[in-house]
Amino acid sequence: MTAEEVDRFINQIAFSGAEEFVNKYKDRTEAIIGHFGLGFYSAFMVSKKVEIFSLSYKEDAKAVHWSCEGSPEYTMEETIKAERGTDVVLHIDDEFSQYLEDATIEGLLKKYCKFLPVEIAFGKKKEWKDGKEVELDEENIINNTTPAWTRKPTDLTEEDYASFYRELYPMQMEEPLFHIHLNVDYPFHLTGILYFPKIKSNLDVHRNKIQLYCNQVYVTDEVENIVPEYLTLLHGVIDSPDIPLNVSRSYLQSDNNVKKISGYITKKVADKLAEMFKNDRENFEKKWDDVKMFIQFGMLTDEKFYEKAVAFALLKNLDGKYFTLDEYKDKVRENQVDKDGNMVILYTNDPDAHYTFVERAKAKGYDVLLQDGELDVHTMSQAEQKSEKLRFVRVDSDTVENLIRKEDAAKDTYSDEQKEGLRKAFEAFIPQAEKLNYYVSCEAASADALPVFLTQNEFMRRMKEMSAHQQGMSFYGQMPDSYNLVLNTAHPLIQDLVAKMTSEEVEEVPETKEGEEPKEAVKKTVFTLSGEDERLKQLIDIALLASGQLKGEALAKFVNRSVELL
């Protein structure tokens, strides 16, 4: 620079005042990025003194020396400089001495200047020789001036994309599943490469891995206000000069360019997935478990993405076969429609824990899905809301006869008094635990079902599971777990217990409310069961064991009791 240019670019811009600066660029925010005056301002954040030595390329130009200690006062004078160019010398304040360390400087350069379009040399390259590190003559260029996203997709190989991913995330051990190359010039400018990582759990761990650049200048890795929330799970780079910078979240959300860019990326991602599903379904199914959470998150949070993704979102059954929702409806339509015309899709999130229930469902000819993902409960509820007469029901939520009710419930021959006596006999031995409730009921399931088993209400259990991942539902999360202890009155063991019950006539005086006349006593038959304590405990423990709830001391007692009964 000449003395005149130093005066114009440093004295008049850097020290012109914030108000004047904002007014000057309020209609051209893109001009802020890379502006020498603004960047120069930041030197005083860590320096007690800053100097400039500059020699212009212009003929007969004089070298200039500018110096300032952070106040409005500065000096500017002619000096001697051998080569054209500009040197900026920072006298680092003692408080920020870490910025004089090679490791700190190199770390900052690699984070913020890793892909600048102009080469940046940081000292000389070094190598180990004769047991010590020696400096070479070659300059140490720390940035890649032509990163993969700036090149044409036709000029890149799969290895180029893989290599660039490792350059972006040197500490990432797993390779991405696949990638999308973004390149559009109208109605906005956007380039970039997005990678699909393997996502099986914990959404938060995978967020904020997309880096935003403006003309290869690093801006941020927090892009949640620029792309839909689910896209923050992807990795990679977005570069666009049309995204407004240093503005509020509300401004970003209302900016037309941001909306267009967000819509474009959503469409590209959906189209890529649809293309993979259509052209190579077998390979898509192999990747499904790793990309499932991303697709589900997108369907739950972005209606436009849902409209496209519903055609390739998959369900997996316990045989390891994959289906779209429409394909699965066709598969179970003949056998899994109840008497009211509702299609019932059965699922389990733990095949081992629900083994007994799964086997009884299979014996009926029903198919069972595996739904063990973090977002499965949410996506099932979404599918129910968008489909008429469709229900997802976990196999352990009721007896197999009630899961898909084909006809009215079977009736037994026992009186209400007999059932009440049976319930009270079992209630006396139900284990007590904090935030855990058991309710005893009698039901004629079938002779080959367990004599006593546990079920859990589908709605309440699902609400509790959803509360773990959704704000505003903590009320359900704080409620105790509730189970139904079903006494199968069709089973010979329960029928034998009923047969051993004794009855007696008792008089009971009904309660009267204040102001009412006293009521006459009424006779009532009361059934009781005695001498069967060990059998009752054993039957309850069998139900708990079948549902994976018998543990610790209770399990040890069950084992000992089983040996004694044998």
Final residue in a domain of this structure, among 69, 100, 131: 100
Q: Which of 385, 351, 524, 525 is nearest to 466 (CA)?
A: 385
Position 16 scores a pLDDT of 47
Task: Give the Cα separation of 458 and 436 in Å (integer).
Answer: 16
pLDDT at residue 367, rounded to an integer: 97
Domain that holds residue 391: 313-403
Specify whether the CB–CB gap between 485 and 441 falls below 8 A.
Answer: yes
**Residue 25: pLDDT band by 50, 70, 90 thresholds?**
low
Question: Which DSSP helix (H) or strand (E) runs through 51?
Answer: strand 47-55
Q: Give the CATH number, domain containing residue 175.
A: 3.30.230.80
Highest-pLDDT range among 133-137, 176-180, 517-521: 176-180
**Least confident piece of the model among 87-101, 158-172, 394-408:** 394-408
Question: Smallest Cα–Cα separation from 399: which of 370, 426, 348, 361?
Answer: 361
Residues 384 and 421 placed together within one structural domain of the fold: no
The helix or strand, by DSSP H or E, that contains position 141, with its residue range, turns out to be strand 132-141
Summarize the confidence of residues 234-251 as an average pLDDT. 74
Give the residue-averaged pLDDT of 422-450.
87
Global pTM value? 0.73
pLDDT exceeds 70 at position 344: yes
pLDDT at 32 exceeding the cut of 90: no
* Of residues 179, 189, 188, the one with CA closest to residue 216: 189
Kindly state the average pLDDT of the residues 15-20: 49
Q: How many domains does the chain have?
A: 4
Residue 157 lies in a domain: yes
d(CA 381, CA 389): 13
pLDDT of residue 27: 61
Region of poorest pLDDT, from 293-302, 440-449, 472-481: 472-481
pLDDT of 38 above 80: no
Asked whether residue 90 is domain-assigned, the answer is yes
Question: Using one digit for the tens of pLDDT, what is the confidence trace for 102-140?
Answer: 899 988 898 888 999 999 999 888 888 888 888 888 899
Question: In this structure, are 553 and 451 located in the same domain?
Answer: yes
For residue 499, the domain's CATH number is 1.20.120
Provide the percentage of residues in the chain whose pLDDT is more than 90. Answer: 50
Specify whether 88 is located in the same domain as 62: yes
Q: Are residues 547 and 421 in the same domain?
A: yes
Instruction: Give dist(CA 495, CA 246) in Å, integer.
Output: 75
Residue 121 lies in a domain: no
Instruction: State how far Cα 264 lies from the chain centre.
Output: 22
Select from 403, 435, 459 the last residue of a domain: 403
Structure token digits, residue 410: 């079977």
